[in-house]
């Protein structure tokens, strides 16, 4: 994380620039993201030390919560945007991307 400072006449502002890993995956499973693959995805996300968010169909969810993931209603050919933020975000993003390519 980088910090930038903005100084005007009366105040000093500290602006933090957040680096995070993002990737987009398109669901290829004919049944979409149903209970079994969603559960496996959540287990994979729970192993990550970083924060993992998913966005699809105009909604976002915590990828470590099965109810939140199932609530996205992801079907075949939907795109999911994963945002991974934390100390080991590069490693966690790579693990999630690998999981998606093998299972979804």
Active-site residue list: 34
Three state DSSP letters for the chain? CEEEEEECCCCEEEEEECCCEEEEEECCCCCCCCHHHHHHHHHHHHCCCCEEEEEECCEEEECCCHHHHHHCCCCCCCEEEEEEECCCHHHHHHHHHHHHHHHC
């Amino acid at each position: 994380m980088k910090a930038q400072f903005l100084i005007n006449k009366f105040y000093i502002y500290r602006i933090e620039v957040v680096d995070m890993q993002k990737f987009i995956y398109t669901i290829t499973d004919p049944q979409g993201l149903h209970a079994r693959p969603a559960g496996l995805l959540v287990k994979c996300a729970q192993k990550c030390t970083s924060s993992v968010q998913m966005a699809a169909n105009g909604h976002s969810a915590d990828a470590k919560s099965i109810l939140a993931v199932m609530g996205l209603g992801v079907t075949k050919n939907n795109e999911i945007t994963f945002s991974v933020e934390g100390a080991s975000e590069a490693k966690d993003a790579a693990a999630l991307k690998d999981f998606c390519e093998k299972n979804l």
